[in-house]
Structures are given as structure tokens and as C-alpha cells.
Amino acid sequence: MNDTYELRGGETHIEVHKFYPGAIAIVAILSLVLQRILPVYLPKLEILDLPLLVTIYFGLSRRNPSTGLLLGMIMGLMQDSLSGPTVPLGEYGIAKTIIGYLASSIGSRLDTEHPLARFALVMSFFVVHQSVLVVVRRLLLAEPEPWFNLHLAVAALVNAVLGVALFVAMDRLRRNS
């Protein structure tokens, strides 16, 4: 007999999420404004990186590397422009562009709806983001910058926990297909 077998098994389809009109722009602007205002009144909240969380969320949800890259670039450059004279223009732009691209690329290959997966991804992306910032500061700006310290570990943990909660809230912005 000439039997053939399907070796690929059941190929899963990962859904690309659509959002209400203007939702991405409103959330992005709100995160940038809160990132600038919150540490002024509550200095301990400087540990949060809300634009990074928004970039990761929409990158994982939209699952298109081009749009993730563009969103990361816009978020990073806007954060640079709002950070004042202490942050050179392009520093966050470079880091968030890379994260937007990576989040979209990974989001197109994995199902990232589970809270544990989101936690691990946000933590990993935060560490990669900070690593890119360290490389930029050391190589391009010739500034001494530590690679890893306890502050980075705590910041990654706090941002990952906030990211999981924030992602659940932002899931409500999705349009039903």
C-alpha cells in the first residue's frame, strides 16, 4: 500500500489582533505622558518603563515585524524628546526599535496570551532593552555604565508584574473579529 502521512501535524494559526481606531495612539501617548509625570510626584516609579511595556504589548499583539519596528522607533524617539537634555536623542529610539521588532517577530511565532509567557517575555525584553541602552551608552557615548546590578533585576521583576496586569487591561481594547 502507498500510505502517506502528514509530518507537520496540526499547524496552529496565531491570530493577529485588531484594535479599536485610535487605541494604539491614545495608549502610546498616555504611556509617554505618565512616564514623564509620575516620577516627578512619586520618584520610586522611575523604575517603570511604560512606553516599553506598550511597545512590547502591541508588538506581541500585532505580530508584524514592520509595524513593531515602527512603533518601537516612534515610542523611543518620543521618549527621548520628552526626557530632556540628559538623554541624547536616539538613545531610547534605538533600544525600543530593537524591542518592537523582536516582540513582533516572537509574537508571530508563539502564542503569547498566557500570563506566565507574558511575564517571562516582558522580563526578557526589559533586560534586552537595558542591555541595548548600556551598549549605546558605553560605545557611542563613552559613558561608564554597569552591565548588571540588583537595580536591573528588581526593575525587570516590577515591570514584568506590571506588564502582565497592564496587558490584561489592554486586551479590552481589541476589536472582535
Q: DSSP of 86-137, one letter per residue?
A: TS-TTHHHHHHHHHHHHHHHHHTTS---SHHHHHHHHHHHHHHHHHHHHHII
DSSP readout, 125-155? Answer: HHHHHHHHHHHIIIIIS-----S--HHHHHH
- Please, what is the Cα angle at 124 between 54 and 45, to 5 degrees? 55
pTM over 0.95: no
Tell me which CATH code domain 23-173 carries. Answer: 1.10.1760
pLDDT tens, residue order, the chain (177 aa): 444 434 444 455 566 778 888 999 999 999 999 999 999 999 999 999 999 999 999 999 888 899 999 999 999 999 999 988 888 888 999 999 999 999 999 987 887 888 999 999 999 999 999 999 999 999 988 888 878 889 999 999 999 999 999 999 999 988 876
